[in-house]
Chain A
Amino acid sequence: MKKGLCFLLTAALMAASLAGCGSQSDSSANSQAEAKESAGSGGSSGGGAQAEAGNTTEDGKYDLVFWVYSDAVLNDQGKLFNRWVEEYCEENPDVNSITLIGKNDADLLTSLMAGVGLPDMFFASARNMRQYKEAIDLLDLTPVYQSEEGYQDGFYDSAIAAISQDAGMWAIPFMSYVPIIFRNTDVLEKAGIDWENEPLTSWDVFFEQCEKVKAAGIDATHSWSQGGYYCPGAVLASDAPNLAVGLENGETTLKAEQLLRTFETLQKLETYSNGMSYSDAPASEAFKAGELAFIAAGPWNEPDYIQAGTHYDVQLIPPYEENGWTGGLQGWDFMYGVNTGDEGRNEAIRGWLKKMGSFEVQQEFAKVIGRSVLREDAMDDPDTQQTEMLAILADGLKCGMNQMNFGHSSVFWTSAIGDVAPAVANGSITPEEGAQQLIDGINGLYAEAGEE
């Protein structure tokens, strides 16, 4: 009999490890056996408490759970969100508490796939909105937008368009960004550039300044083709008015000749490159140490340079003509609600999300954190634009290009440029070949996702 027990143990052990291989119901049964076995033999911690987040109601009040980016629970952002939560719980007698849990996009997707243990609200990338909408029962937020005259008008129209589909509105547009260029002004001075009077008004000006920095024996910039889509995409967006972005019969409507200028610019940029990618720690360290003049980065990098005491200014990705269309791919983040099936609870969720979408909250977020938001009225308010960064971001968000068709598509088509750019930049393929490869790459992504 004991031999049998040992046998069972080993069998269960393996069955459980193989759980994923078989069909689903099968694997559950197997691993169940395993879990019981180990509970019997391991005899370790008791456990077994109810852990499903936030589904318990105390005194008829709701305890809500809100998944956020991990920075929203730290430092200044943490304080800000905590205060909003306190305010909301006071304003709304039905809500007992809101718990903020830091999760990143990948964690979120895995949890969503599992389909269990979902939060009440979550703050996540707009890029995955379509996946979220298909995978889980999102809460329709139309009542939020209708509850107050003018509420909806405050947002950027494109953001409202992204969240509206199938006769519903599925998220609150919250945060946004556009890539920017930091200039190390100490380096510029050494290179004899009067930086205060010479902003980057066009790519030509940028190249002139690169030339001067290079002549002074300092690295001008990092590689604009390494490190994924971020930099080449930023260049591509400078040409946005000339691009026929769209999808027809499963293929992009872009034409190869529309992409040539981007690849030629990338090739030229490479001549001033020190070979690092923008996101490498060595690149930002070099920038801080005065060994690099220009770095393409995001607004989130600013505190790093402040702390290191670097002298810098902020510029948008330049346009091709003076006062023309500036570049940079816009990234957006939304706040979503989950349909909990309990109308009272859903109301509490909508109330919180409405607060998050309000002018006051978004303006305060922008002012305190220094990140741009998706409420146009909050961004354009002179009170918001007091810092250099926010004023520039507000400008930048009017141009550039969206990373993808947020909300309606799951294909992050601009990411395909990250695959092609290095080969064009190092000269192993011509800009013409690069343009064609990019189009093929984009079509491949659409085909893979099965979108038409």
Chain B
Amino acid sequence: MSFTDWSVSSRGSVNFVGLDNYTLILSGKGTTSVRFLNSVKNLVIYVPLTLSIGLSLSLALALITRQLSRKLFSVFRGIYFVPYVLPLFLCAGIWQWFMTTGTGLVASALANIGIGRGITWDSTKYYAIIYVMMVDIWNSAGFNFVIISAGMADISPDLYEAAEIDGASTFQKMTKITIPLLEPILFFVITYGFISALQVYDIPWIISNGSDINSVGGPGQVMSFPVMEMVRNIYLGGKSGLGRACAEGVSLMTVILAVTAIQFKARRKKV
């Protein structure tokens, strides 16, 4: 499909156009390409930040709650999972209230400590990415937390007892036993988190008013991500819309595949 001029409006007649779609989207010339490359730039900032902050948060929470009694642990686990169960548009909706300039709870709190004073979060470069990141981390921390803490439960208590006899502190137990033994689970969480972060779509779509296809990604694509650009191409129904969207999709997938393959290789070496 990525090699054709297929579009919403091409009834029946689809032509093979070779690499045209690829050269077009990567050329940096024309609206489609500029938008796509902007969205890729955003992605490059977004993915590593979201992954590292999000995962450290979930891991920290898991380490903390695991020290508590089982009852407390399950109470907290129930609570942490709430954002993940909330429908995404609901999450995005509430955060829009919180992040409104001037009156929004979170935005004004941040302004008070000198972050983003007087700016409009959803239309300012970089701030828009951080905005999406906050919502996403808030939403997905519970998911990662559940998986990580389930993995922790598999670690035999004997190990901890032995460590305690040896006089290890809580902190030592965490770093010397928990984290190394969690490696397979962490690997899964990282891989999965990476893949889903690359496909970030719903949250920025809603925040940047995606119900209107023409405002996707906000002014100057400050909140645009590749999957959003694909959808835009498809729905705008312009020439080769579907073909271009597929070319964008395939380019994105190639990158993901490459990085994932490296991750797997690295893991095999380590093990």
A125-150 CB mask vs B (1 if < 8 Å, else 0) is 00010110011110000000000000
Segment 407-437 of A: residues with Cβ below 8 Å from B:
410, 412, 415, 418-423
Are A134 and B10 in touch, CB under 8 angstroms? Answer: yes
A134–B120 Cα distance when bound, in Å, is 40
Which residues in window 62-100 of A have CB below 8 A to B? none
Nearest-CB residue, chain B, relative to A443 = B31
CB–CB A275/B96 < 8 A: no
The yes or no answer to A241 lying at the interface (CB within 8 A) is no
Q: Known contacts A21-B250, A113-B234, A422-B120; decide if A131 and B9 are in contact (CB<8 Å).
A: yes
- With a cutoff of 8 Å between Cβ atoms, the chain A residues found around residue B120 in the complex are 223, 226, 275, 277, 422
Task: Check A109–B31 contact: CB distance below 8 A.
Answer: no
A226 to B212, CA, bound (A): 14
Q: How large is the interface on A (under 10, 10 to 19, 20 to 34, 35 or more residues)?
A: 35 or more
Chain B minimum-CB-distance residue to A229: B214
Interface of A is mostly: helix
Inter-chain CA distance A43–B34, complex, in Å, is: 48
Contacts of B209 in A (CB 8 A): 227-228, 277, 279
A281 contacts the other chain (CB 8 A): yes
Query: Which A residue sits closest to B32, measured CB to CB?
Result: A448
With known contacts A20-B1, A134-B10, A449-B236, A282–B215 Cβ distance under 8 A: no
Number of residues from B at the complex interface, CB < 8 A: 39
User: For residue B100, which residues in chain A have a CB less than 8 angstroms away from its CB?
Assistant: 275-276, 280, 282
Q: How far is the CA of A20 from the CA of B104 in the complex (A)?
A: 42
A216 neighbours in B (Cβ, 8 Å): none
Q: How far apart are B20's CB and chain A's nearest CB, in angstroms?
A: 12
Chain A residues contacting B34 (CB-CB under 8 Å) are 444
Chain B contacts of A115 at CB under 8 A? 11
Other-chain contact of A106, B32, B104, B123, B235 (Cβ < 8 Å):
B235
Residue of A134, A275, A423, A447 near B30 (CB, 8 A) is A447
B32 to chain A, nearest CB (A): 5
Shortest A206–chain B CB gap in Å is 21
The B209-225 residues at the A interface (CB cut-off 8 A) are 209, 211-215, 219-220
Query: Judging by beta carbons under 8 Å apart, are B219 and A421 in contact?
Result: yes
A365 → chain B, closest Cβ, in Å? 23
Q: Is B239 an interface residue (CB 8 A)?
A: yes
What chain A residues lie within 8 Å of B104 (beta carbons)?
282
Please determine whether B238 and A415 come into contact, CB atoms closer than 8 angstroms.
no
A136, B101: Cβ atoms under 8 Å?
no
A448 and B236 contact, Cβ closer than 8 Å, known pairs A134-B10, A276-B101, A281-B97:
yes
Residues of A within 8 A of B213 (CB): 106
A-B contact pairs, 16 of them (CB 8 A): A106-B213, A115-B11, A128-B237, A131-B8, A131-B237, A135-B11, A227-B209, A228-B212, A229-B215, A275-B100, A276-B100, A282-B97, A410-B237, A422-B123, A423-B220, A449-B239
Chain A residues in the interface with B (C-beta under 8 A): 20-21, 23-24, 104, 106, 109, 112-113, 115, 128, 130-131, 134-137, 223, 226-229, 274-277, 279-282, 286, 410, 412, 415, 418-423, 441, 444-445, 447-450
